[in-house]
Amino acid sequence: MKNMSDTRGRSLSLAHLYVAYSALALGGLAGLLQVLVRSGGLTLPAGIGYYQILTVHGVLLGLILTTFFIIGFLHASIIRTSGPYSNRSIVLGWLGFWIMLIGTIMSASMILLNEATVLYTFYAPLMAHWLFYLGLTFVVVGSWFSGAAMISAYRHWRKEHPGQTSPLLTFMAIITIVLWIIATLGVAGTVLFQLLPWSLGIVERVDVLTSRTLFWYFGHPLVYFWLLPAYMAWYAVIPKVIGGRVFSDSLARLSFLLFLLFSIPVGFHHQLVEPGIDAFWKYLQVVLTFMVVIPSLMTAFSLFATFEIRGRELGSKGLFGWLRKLPWKDARFTVPFIGMLAFIPAGAGGLINASNQMNQVVHNTIWVTGHFHLTLATTVVLTFFGISYWLIPHLTGRVLTKEMNRLAIIQAIVWTVGMGIMSLSMHAAGLLGAPRRSAFSTYGDAPQALAWIPYQAAQAIGGTILFIGIILVLYIVVNLAFFSPKGTETFPVADSGSAKTPKALEDWRIWLTILTALILIAYSVPFIDMIQQAPPASKGYRLW
């Protein structure tokens, strides 16, 4: 099929980014209200419930912002490195976008009407309106059409360039969307075959353990679906921004393949206190979870090697002199770099969450929420902001001005301060036993609960500063999309060097076979046990 101009491809990417930042505005406002209520300083008006805004915050920021932004970025990356989309990919991409948008409106409407106050994880036996589950189904199915557009473009490039190694960013984008498609089979399974028939009254009861297991089959790979686009920028964009090149094309591809292998069969580490799952299978998935440390350390080594090599090329001296040579006044570098640094404590917290013994201390406390805000809301989101500062003007035919660049660095500092206060307070309160998900309460002035109150007040302060950061980034995005001077903003892609990449790294038969084997090993026997020894299923409950 004949390739067409990338104008429609740019419009496709932009449409996704606009929805993502709209979700940031609404979800961010819900987050501000949430921390204020939890501090005891605000009572919501008009019968609006705390758990209703908590659901809005989680769904819009954890699912809608991320999914739309990532798919828009992946489309743009493939078009930039493998050429304009064919007619087929454009049609599939727009079909995916509209199906996702319709699903988003359906699910968000049910939450706003207080018909789906089931939180971000929508655990059974809490029962939402059936339109909420149908909307989630639309979001997932729409994303599959978007994935089909990307895979079609990738296959077209492979057909046109037989025997050649695909562009690095294209390869990374395909790994990311393949991970997403395989992971969403779990959430699609529980929604389509359990929760939707249950909410429609077709079946009276639902198997809660199976539902949660299918959710976490999806839920942890979702974390890497968030992270891998940030890694794409770190590996292949940031080196170009600083004037360097990719440290190793082969290492970058191998790290992404390892993330694909070890991020899916690990959901049980979110269910370590869940009855009905044998301890051996939990242990196996904890081991697989810790294997993800390997590609993470490979990434850290590659990135800082790139930084040091470039610094020394610019004449740096001494052990850490290269740090002074990095372009700290360039928001395209500085904003994602802050996200990189945040991933150090975030990763350490993840090891605690995944450890069977230490997890018992922090499980179901607000520590977990603090960890979540370091990984997604700092590492991932700051990198997404850094991407936006060149991607949006690139797509709109405008430029990143000095004023917006300066404001972007200020925004990152505001975000980091706010997140530091809020996340550290969450971690500290969690160690004191403060629960996650719960509204403000002194629990009858219990001494332990009263010890949490100062930390909850600090969370409100941090959350307020974060909301100021949201206002700033929305102002920058609107400026770059509609008001910045016309011009040409490049999509920076670093040179991968001349070293030959092993063909085995792009042999999908090898890696998909290994992945399938790992999933079957990790989940087949536990699922058989769940079916054979299923506890009594549950009716639905509406507790709001």
Catalytic residues: 220, 224, 371-373, 436-437
Rounded Cα distance between 31 and 61, Å, is: 9
Look up residue 79 and give its two tokens: 């078009």
Rounded to the nearest 5°, which phi and psi values hold at 538?
-115, 145
> What region, left, alpha or beta, does residue 124 occupy, with left being phi > 0 and alpha being psi -120 to 50 degrees?
beta
Ramachandran angles phi, psi of 486, nearest 5° = -65, 145
Q: What residue type is 474 in one-letter code?
A: L
368 and 390 Cβ atoms separated by less than 8 Å:
no
**In 10 A of CB 75, how many CB atoms?**
29
Q: Could you give the 3-state DSSP secondary structure of residue 441? A: coil
Output the six-digit token pair for 425: 């307070």
Q: Give exposure, 334-362, as e/b (b: 16+ Cβ within 10 Å).
A: bbbbbbbebbebbbebbebbbbeeebeeb
CA 220, distance to chain mean position in Å, is 10
3-state class of 86 per DSSP?
A: strand
Say which residues have a Cβ less than 8 Å from residue 347's Cβ, sequence separation at least 6.
Answer: 293, 296
Give the Cα-Cα-Cα angle 470, 475, 478 (nearest 5 degrees): 120
Distance CA 110, CA 59 (A): 12
Distance of alpha carbon 421 from alpha carbon 378, whole angstroms: 12
Whether the CB-CB separation of 64 and 4 falls below 8 Å is answered with no
- Tokens coding 336: 């994602």
Helix (H, G, I), strand (E, B) or coil at 398: strand
